[in-house]
Amino acid sequence: MVELKIEKLIYGGDGLARMHDAKLGRSKAVFLPFVAPGETVEAIIREQKPGFARAQAEKVLQPSEFRQTPPCPYFFKCGGCQYQHLQYAEQVKAKAQILEETLSRTAKLKLEQPIQTHAAEPLGYRNRTRMRVSHVPQFAIGYYRFGSHSLLPVEQCPISSPLINRVLQGLWAAGREERIAREVREVQFFANHDDSRLLLELYIDHHAEPDALQPMIETLRGKMPEIAGVAVFRGAPADDSEDQRAPLTRAKASPGVFFGERSLRYKTKRHEYQVSAGAFFQTNRFLLDEMAETVTRGHSGKLALDLYSGGGFFSLPLADQFEKVIAVEASGHSQADLKTNALRNVKAVRSGTEEFLRGEGRQLRPDLVVVDPPRAGLGEKTSHLIGRMSVGRVTYVSCDPATLSRDMKVLVESGFRVEEVHLFDLFPQTYHLESVLHLVR
Ligand SMILES: C[S@@+](CC[C@H](N)C(=O)[O-])C[C@H]1O[C@@H](n2cnc3c(N)ncnc32)[C@H](O)[C@@H]1O
């Protein structure tokens, strides 16, 4: 056992402490989950590496005044959330600090303005979640266990919407009666804006036949009429082992077999979107309007580019303010929604961003470029291509501060300055953080 003082939280959910390493002759970092800044804990060292160690707190000797009883009964065991032991305001504060430090360390950015934070309901916010299914020794549905790829059965998820929780209970009831087909390995729930309608995506073994699931799906829809449609995608792991991670890209590439509706209508204050099964859509039902507003407010002109546009979540508000919007998206599912959602002055382009910027986009002189890449960020090539564009304003929407900061280094070297930084807490109770940076030059 060692006694550790927690300095701060770091990206990924762990706390950071330091301990003396006799071999190194100096102190080294120790990472441990479920702690709070300022606390003193007694911990077991679980893993020693040359430069750091991983530990687990066994006893909190001096608790933080911001500790709370976790609202979810599965917290500490479930891999989904990392921060439920911390009062909500402290979670947001910790995320702002992590964002500021990452930008400063990697991109050498010293912010001129404080980070503006946007937070809403800390529970019941998720309109989309994905769970694993096991049929051995009996039916179970849930998330991965903390730090593992084995299944933790979960009968409720307090961060998910009420409708998702009701349908989850319906699946448990059907599963207990052995009425969930054994081919089903993963389930994604997606609920609409007022939590009244829901799409289910079922991921099945790649050798299974989607049509064979029809009787089960009809029974589920009969019992739960809020299920507007069910899409079945092939591609989850083929064997029966519980701890195998599904190859999501393969599942996403499957065209899908549909029962009932293929998409939901999702309304925001200003627009309405078609969101199809398999397509990306933002996950926090309470912060969508504020986020669209923050990304697009105050900008206008002849041309805006919306890169990584998904189904056009930002393209539509941009189209109200710009004469023309070009929305670039690589995925077929999202592209189909984008084409349906697009207003008259939105041109939908199906392409990877880099290919677009090297080809059709090369000669363009937009007034604004909005980028909202997946976790991998823009990458070096795309960051350089944007840096070389003739554009005065870029808005970077990011879900990963590490890749954001790496890309920001390139953008700052290309002459951009950070005008505003916003932190959107789209994922309360977890370490995930979304940010919006307005850049000018
Ligand atoms: C974080 S989502 C953002 C979507 C959209 N801006 C929104 O708010 O709904 C990222 C999107 O980028 C798309 N994507 C991933 N890699 C891409 C690439 N290389 N080029 C273009 N789009 C890509 C994904 O399919 C996904 O729709």
| Domain termination residue (choose one: 263, 278, 297) | 263
Distance from the alpha carbon of residue 220 to the mean position of ligand 1, in angstroms: 32
Q: Is 372 annotated as a binding-site member?
A: yes
CA of 353, closest atom in ligand 1: 20
Q: Is 420 annotated as a binding-site member?
A: no
pLDDT at 246 over 70: no
Q: How far is the C-alpha of 82 from the C-alpha of 8, rounded, in Å?
A: 14
283 lines ligand 1 (CB under 6 A): no
Which residue has a Cα nearest atom 25 of ligand 1? 331
Confidence of residue 237 (pLDDT cuts 50, 70, 90): low
Q: Note whether 166 and 215 are same-domain residues.
A: yes
Confidence of residue 50 (pLDDT cuts 50, 70, 90): confident
| Full-model pTM | 0.94
Q: Take residue 270 and report the two structure tokens written for it.
A: 């200003």
CA of 281, closest atom in ligand 1: 9
Is residue 316 domain-resident? yes
The mean pLDDT value of the chain amounts to 94
| Domain termination residue (choose one: 51, 67, 83) | 67
Q: Note whether 249 and 350 are same-domain residues.
A: no
Residue 23: CATH number of its domain: 2.40.50.140
Q: Note whether 259 and 273 are same-domain residues.
A: no
Q: Note whether 136 and 25 are same-domain residues.
A: no
Residue 94: is it exposed, middle or buried by C-beta count within 10 angstroms (0-12/13-18/19+)? buried
Residue range(s) defining the domain that contains residue 393:
96-120+267-440
pLDDT at 92 over 80: yes
Residue 168: CATH number of its domain: 2.40.50.1070
Q: Which residues are catalytic?
A: 399
The pLDDT value given to residue 241:
46
Is residue 111 domain-resident? yes
Hey, which of 328, 329, 338, 395 would you mutate to test ligand 1's pocket, going by the most ligand atoms within 8 Å of its Cβ? 329
The pLDDT value given to residue 188:
96
> Residues 108-119: pLDDT tens digits?
999 988 999 999
Nearest to 312 by CA among 286, 275, 285: 275
SS3 216: helix
Q: Note whether 288 and 392 are same-domain residues.
A: yes
Distance from the alpha carbon of residue 331 to the mean position of ligand 1, in angstroms: 7
ipTM, interface predicted TM-score of the complex: 0.99
Q: Note whether 239 and 328 are same-domain residues.
A: no
- Strands in 434-440's sheet, in edge-to-edge order, are 116-118, 417-424, 434-440, 393-398, 368-371, 301-307, 322-329, 346-350
The least confident of 4-8, 49-53, 259-263, 300-304 is: 49-53
313 lines ligand 1 (CB under 6 A): yes
Q: How far is the C-alpha of 114 from the C-alpha of 97, rounded, in Å?
A: 10
Bridge partners for 6 per DSSP: none
331 lines ligand 1 (CB under 6 A): yes
- Percent of the chain exceeding pLDDT 70 equals 96
Is residue 162 domain-resident? yes
Q: Note whether 344 and 417 are same-domain residues.
A: yes
The tally of CA atoms less than 13 A away on the side-chain side of residue 96 is: 18
Q: Note whether 37 and 157 are same-domain residues.
A: no
Confidence of residue 205 (pLDDT cuts 50, 70, 90): confident
Q: Note whether 240 and 287 are same-domain residues.
A: no
Q: Are strands 368-371 and 417-424 parallel, antiparallel or unpaired?
A: unpaired
314 lines ligand 1 (CB under 6 A): yes
Q: Quickly count: other Cβ atoms within 10 Å of residue 138's Cβ.
A: 10
309 lines ligand 1 (CB under 6 A): yes
Distance from the alpha carbon of residue 309 to the mean position of ligand 1, in angstroms: 6
377 lines ligand 1 (CB under 6 A): no
Distance from the alpha carbon of residue 252 to the mean position of ligand 1, in angstroms: 13
Q: How far is the C-alpha of 240 from the C-alpha of 219, rounded, in Å?
A: 25
Q: Note whether 257 and 319 are same-domain residues.
A: no
Q: How far is the C-alpha of 356 from the C-alpha of 378, rounded, in Å?
A: 13
pLDDT at 253 over 70: no
| Domain termination residue (choose one: 235, 263, 291) | 263
Q: Note whether 184 and 312 are same-domain residues.
A: no
Structural domain count of the chain: 3
Q: Note whether 209 and 309 are same-domain residues.
A: no
Amino acid type, 147: G
Phi, psi of 91 (to 5 degrees): -60, -45
Is residue 288 domain-resident? yes
Nearest to 256 by CA among 274, 235, 275, 280: 235
Contact residues for 111 (Cβ-Cβ < 8 A; gap 6+): 100, 103, 104, 418, 421
Q: How far is the C-alpha of 418 from the C-alpha of 395, rounded, in Å?
A: 10
Is residue 81 domain-resident? no
Distance from the alpha carbon of residue 310 to the mean position of ligand 1, in angstroms: 5
SS3 293: helix
